[in-house]
Structure 1
Amino acid sequence: MVRFRHIPPTQFLKGFEAAARLESFSRAAEEVGLTQSAISHQMRLLEGLIGQPLFLRIGREVRLTDAGRDYHRTVRRCLDLLEEGYRRLEPYRKPGSVVIYAPRDFTRRWLLPRLPALKAAAPACEPWLDTSGLPVDFETMEVDIAVIHAAEPPVGCESLLIARDRLSPVADPAGARALRQPADLLAASLIHEEGPVGWAEWFAQADVDAGMIWKGTNYSDGDIALAAAELGQGIALASLFLAGAALAAGTLVQPFTTTVASGLGWYALSNTDRLSDTDTQETWRWLEQMQEKE
């Protein structure tokens, strides 16, 4: 079955909408840039396609029939929707756009506080931040630079190690004051985050016999885990890389210097095609300057 077989050519619909609104073929012709005879001919063809008259022709004037008024409402809505769709494409056309695809916690905790620095280093760059969380595929996705949290970067693309992850307890200032030694954490409310390394590994690194460490709230999002710690809802074993801005601002405190490696790193990915763009190059160079600085 052929779909949309009852939809006339768009130029007919534009002419019909103008003629119906203005109640004049001549004024409609001026608006759409055609001659009056061309508009009149289009309306005859349109009425033939529709199978019924849409206009009453009274001398030089035209009036909509009942069917014409009904059809005009539909056509106006459809043309408005098409126009809105075109306007929605405007951000895709803006010059300097660099699509940066990254996990939400990285974007919220590391990239967002540094956007002014990125803009200063690459003034023409207009970042487009995508945190939708789909697997990265440069062949099928409109992405210029992707950031992943992985043990190593995938083969077949350009990669840049931004930082390796080290984990350490972090707490709000009030919660940190109650912690004198690592063993004090055994009586605290612990925040757990999904990952290959957790509290058991950190307690072993700190020489604390912790037994079974499983009580507390679990989070799959590092940003939410850090937010819970900032609200005083527990002690998070956090990526110091992601917690850096909060630690610098004093909303979080690192009570102990002991850290444990997660075995993961934050990698920027791109390919030669994307890096041929000047704005993408400048963004990539900025990321190179930010390597392992925090």
Structure 2
Amino acid sequence: MRQFRSIPPLQYLLGFEAAARLGSFGRAAEELGLTQSAISHQMRLLEERLGQPLFLRHGRSVRLTDAGRDYQRTVARSLKQLEEGYRRLDSFRKPGSVVIYAPRDFAARWLMPRLHHLRRAVPKCDPWLDTSGVAVDFRTMEISIAIQRLREPDPATLSHRLMGDVLAPVMAPELAAAPMASSQDLLKHTLLHDERAENWADWFAYAKVKPGNISAGFDFSDSDFALTAAELGHGVALASLPLAAPAIEQGRLVRPLQGALKTEHAWFAMTNAIELADPVTKEVWNWLIAQTSSAVATAVT
């Protein structure tokens, strides 16, 4: 069975929206560049198709029935969504548009601080950052390059390991005023939790500390929010050092302890041959690869 079979032709809906908004078939016709008889005919066909009167006719003016008012809300909302969808296509029409998909924490903490460098290195690029969090599928999505934290990349894609991911505690400088002798001292502070696969239990096991119950503290669904909370002095976060590096370099966060926990995950860039056939996308791909050697050095220092 064909989907959307009950939806009338678009020209009927445009005519209905204009007539309902303006309260006149004649004024709707003027707005749409049609004759009044054409609008009147369309509205009669629309009512027949829906099996429901939508207008009360009063000479040259028209007034919506109760059903017409209800349908007007649906049609106006749907047309607005179609218009918004059309406007979003502007980014795809730009010749230098490169859609970079990344998790929100990576986009905010690693990619955003480097956007000026990217524009200088690839001046023809107009980057579009997609942080929607949906499952990546190059066959059905408009993505030029995807960046993800994975154990192994999808073998169906072209991939490059950008950097491994290592974790360490970070906190605001004012909270780290007193030196810490060991990870046991972290328990004097509020622990900030996120939904990364690795957590505080992994850190304390790495540090050979038996902390007891460590579930108390603040919980965040996003690692970027956990880092922001740490910057604001709300507690200590177990941070991905590649992502926390800019805040550490700028003094917004400090590492109160030495050592870093290596994880089984790494940050991978992925694309395919079709996307790399675009010269601007290819330049961005090469720029990403060139960036990561310095990122790794910063992360493990």
Which is higher, the Rg of structure 1 or of structure 2?
A: 1
Pairs within 5 Å for 1:174-213: 174-182=174-182, 185=185, 187-189=187-189, 190-193=191-194, 194-196=196-198, 198-204=202-208, 210-212=209-211
Does residue 73 of structure 2 align to residue 70 of structure 1? no
CA 1:78–1:123 in structure 2 vs 1: closer, same or farther (change >3 Å)? farther
Aligned length: 277
Residue type of the partner of 2:267? W
- Deviations along 1:145-194, whole A, 9 cap, x unmatched? 21111222221111122211122222211222212432562553244554
Pairs within 5 Å for 1:23-172: 32-34=32-34, 36=35, 39-40=36-37, 43-44=40-41, 46-47=43-44, 50=47, 63-64=60-61, 68-70=62-64, 80-81=76-77, 83-89=79-85, 90-94=87-91, 95=94, 96-172=96-172
Please give the alpha-carbon distance, in whole angstroms, between the structure 1 residues aligned to 2:124 and 2:157: 25
Residue type of the partner of 1:47? R
Please give the alpha-carbon distance, in whole angstroms, between the structure 2 residues aligned to 1:2 and 1:30: 35
Q: CA RMSD in A?
A: 3.6
- Deviations along 1:245-290, whole A, 9 cap, x unmatched? 1101101112333223122211111111222233322321221121
Please give the alpha-carbon distance, in whole angstroms, between the structure 2 residues aligned to 1:262 and 1:16: 59
In structure 1, the gaps of 5 or more residues are 57-61, 205-209
**SS of corresponding position for 1:293:** helix
* 2:171 and 2:231 in contact (8 A); partners too: yes
The CA deviation at 1:121 is 2.5
The CA deviation at 1:77 is 5.8
Please give the alpha-carbon distance, in whole angstroms, between the structure 2 residues aligned to 1:186 and 1:19: 67
Please give the alpha-carbon distance, in whole angstroms, between the structure 2 residues aligned to 1:8 and 1:14: 10
266-275 vs 190-199, which moves further:
190-199
Normalising by structure 2, report the TM-score: 0.74
Tell me the equivalent position of 1:242: 243
* 2:160 and 2:268 in contact (8 A); partners too: yes
CA 1:3–1:219 in structure 2 vs 1: closer, same or farther (change >3 Å)? closer
Tell me the equivalent position of 2:276: 275
CA 1:33–1:271 in structure 2 vs 1: closer, same or farther (change >3 Å)? same
Normalising by structure 1, report the TM-score: 0.75
**SS of corresponding position for 1:160:** strand
136-145 vs 193-202, which moves further:
193-202
Pairs within 5 Å for 1:256-271: 256-271=257-272
* 2:163 and 2:268 in contact (8 A); partners too: yes
Please give the alpha-carbon distance, in whole angstroms, between the structure 2 residues aligned to 1:285 and 1:242: 20
* 1:106 and 1:242 in contact (8 A); partners too: yes
CA 1:18–1:250 in structure 2 vs 1: closer, same or farther (change >3 Å)? closer
